[in-house]
Amino acid sequence: MKKLKGKVAAVTGAASGLGRSMALAFAAEGMDIALADVDEVNLTAVADEVQEKGVRAITLKVDVSQAAQVDAFRDQTIARLGAVHVVCNNAGVAPLGPLWESSVGDWEWILGVNLWGVIHGVRAFAPALIAQNEGHIVNTASVAGLISPPGMGAYNVTKHAVVALSETLYHDLRERKSKVGVSVLCPAYVPTGIADSERSRPKHLAASEKSRETQAKEAMVRKAVKSGKISAAEVAQAVVKAVKADRFYILTHEGITPAIRARMEDILKARAPRNPLAL
């Protein structure tokens, strides 16, 4: 999609972080923006920022783990903005810890947002894009969808699944000769609020008891996220460029390439995986 002006983008997880930055980046291209998040207060603030760029914005409180709410977001986007062309399935959370410490609540929460959110986004929006034979779907994964760092097993599972889903979606669309594009976004550490995502955890999905080791890991990740060298705005610009160029993989951090290569080599040589954080 080389021409974005006058078209419509729908963004989940839009109240902060990468979602906010993507919404603003697409608005700067002249696109009207539909914004979804569970955080209504910050969502309204982002809508104001979007409208300052001279385009329209609508907001809807959406829990992406709930199919009916994502369907309603699609319906409201099309009804109020007239169409939809770019869909950013971006909402995400990041509870950490070794796999044996993850509670059922941890799993249900992260699978619901990180994976089911993307599943619902594709299921709800793709038919409209296919019918008009125009559009682009951007699924936010992570470098944790290409490598498997220790201490974040549940997160890795969801992000690997998003990469696999996105690759298959690309093949399915090409097999049908559809012009709808697909990108999967795989950033490393970016200064956003992802490390503090516990603030949005539903009360009925109880967190696990965290060991001292897990608490130390969380502190380390929080520090790494805050000290990320590439900003959310820069990542958003990379997304806009990828949509225009119809590029599938969006890898924003060159420094992670050796770890990705090492994983591929370990697979091809049938050897035990090396710790990507130790390379």
C-alpha torsion angle, residues 37, 39, 44, 49 (rounded to 10): -70
* SS3 letters across 102-130: CCHHHHHHHHHHHHHHHHHHHHHHHHHHH
**Residue 5 identity:** K
If we measure between CA atoms, which residue out of 1, 84, 68, 2 comes closest to residue 35?
84
249 is catalytic: no
Contact 97, 110 (CB under 8 A): no
Contact 276, 159 (CB under 8 A): no
Catalytic residue among 155, 170, 189, 249: 155
CA distances from 145 to 14, 48, 78, 164, 200 (A): 21, 33, 31, 9, 22
Beta strands in 45-197 (DSSP E): 57-61, 86-89, 136-140, 181-185
Beta-carbon contacts of residue 228 (< 8 Å; ≥ 6 apart): 188, 189, 190, 191
For residue 160, count other CB atoms closer than 10 A to its CB.
18
User: Residue 236 and residue 226: Cα distance in Å, rounded?
Assistant: 17
If we measure between CA atoms, which residue out of 13, 18, 19, 25 comes closest to residue 231?
18
Catalytic residues: 155
